[in-house]
A = this chain, B = another copy of it.
C-alpha cells in the first residue's frame, strides 16, 4: 500500500509580512516523515477567506491528509462541545466569556475536535483536513495528541553517505546509483568548512534493503575515486 500523502497550509499575514518566522512547516515535515506520511507541498497563504477556502479545497482533494496552522483565535471565524470546553476554561479565570471569545467555538458542524491541552480553544478535523492553532507550542501539543489516530505508512529509510569529495565530481555516480535502485532517490548537499569540503548524499527509499544497497554502491563509487565515504543514519555526521 502506498504511503499516505499530505499537504500543509500555513494561514497568516504575519508570516507573509516577515514579522513572524514560520516554524510549523519544518516541525510538521519532520513528524510526518517519521510516521511514513509523505509531505508533498506546503503553502503559506494570507488571511483572506476566499483564498483559504480555495486552497483547502484544492489540497484536500489532491492529498490524503491536509494540516492547517493558524486562523482559529478569537478574532477569526458554534460547536456545542467546543463552547462547553471554553466556558469551563474561562470559569476558572476572571476573564469574561464574551462574544469574541465565543467565536473560538465557531467550528463547522460534523467536525471532530482536536484537544488543546495548552489553552482550551480546540482544533478540529473535518474530512481529511486537520485544523491546528498557529502558535508552535499549541500546534505541537495538538499534533502529539492526534498522532496515534493518523494513518501510518512505512517510514522512509534515509541514510547519509558522507563523502569527502565535491558534489560536481560525484553527480554522475549518484545519478547512476539512483537509476539502478528502484524506488530510491538521492539528494546531495555540498558543505564547506575552512580548508575542507564535501558532500552529504542522502539516500532515501521505502525498502530498507534496496536503500542500504544503494548507499553501499554510492560509497563504493566514491572510494573508487580515492575519496573517503561513510554511511550513517540521517542526521549524523559532521560538516552538514
Residues of A within 8 A of B (CB): 13-22, 25-34, 39-47, 73-75, 95-96, 98-101, 103-104, 156, 158, 166-172, 174-175, 185, 187-190, 202, 204, 234-235
Give the contacting residue for A31; candidates B18, B26, B42, B170; CB below 8 A: B18
CB <8 Å contact, B74 and A167: yes
In the complex, A18→B133 CA distance in Å? 20
In the complex, A19→B188 CA distance in Å? 12
CB <8 Å contact, A29 and B18: yes
Give the contacting residue for A169; candidates B46, B96, B103; CB below 8 A: B96
Given A18-B26, A26-B22, A187-B14, residue A75 in contact with residue B167 (CB < 8 A) = yes
Give the contacting residue for A18; candidates B32, B45, B100; CB below 8 A: B32
Taken together, the copies of this chain in the complex come to 2
Given A14-B189, A17-B158, residue A40 in contact with residue B30 (CB < 8 A) = no
Minimum CB–CB distance from A143 to chain B (whole Å) comes to 13
Minimum CB–CB distance from A167 to chain B (whole Å) comes to 6
Name the CB-closest residue of B to A39.
B16
In the complex, A166→B90 CA distance in Å? 12
Main secondary structure on A side of the interface with B: mixed
Minimum CB–CB distance from A132 to chain B (whole Å) comes to 16
CB <8 Å contact, B46 and A43: no
Give the contacting residue for A101; candidates B41, B42, B168, B187; CB below 8 A: B168
In the complex, A99→B45 CA distance in Å? 40
CB <8 Å contact, A98 and B42: no
In the complex, A96→B18 CA distance in Å? 41
Q: Which chain B positions have C-beta within 8 A of A28?
A: 18
Q: Which chain B positions have C-beta within 8 A of A18?
A: 26-34, 39
CB <8 Å contact, B33 and A41: no
Q: Which chain B positions have C-beta within 8 A of A99?
A: 172
Q: Which chain B positions have C-beta within 8 A of A101?
A: 168
Q: Could you list some 20 contacts between A and B, CB below 8 A?
A: A13-B187, A15-B29, A16-B39, A16-B41, A17-B29, A17-B39, A17-B158, A18-B33, A19-B234, A19-B235, A21-B26, A22-B22, A22-B26, A40-B46, A41-B45, A42-B43, A73-B188, A95-B169, A96-B169, A99-B172
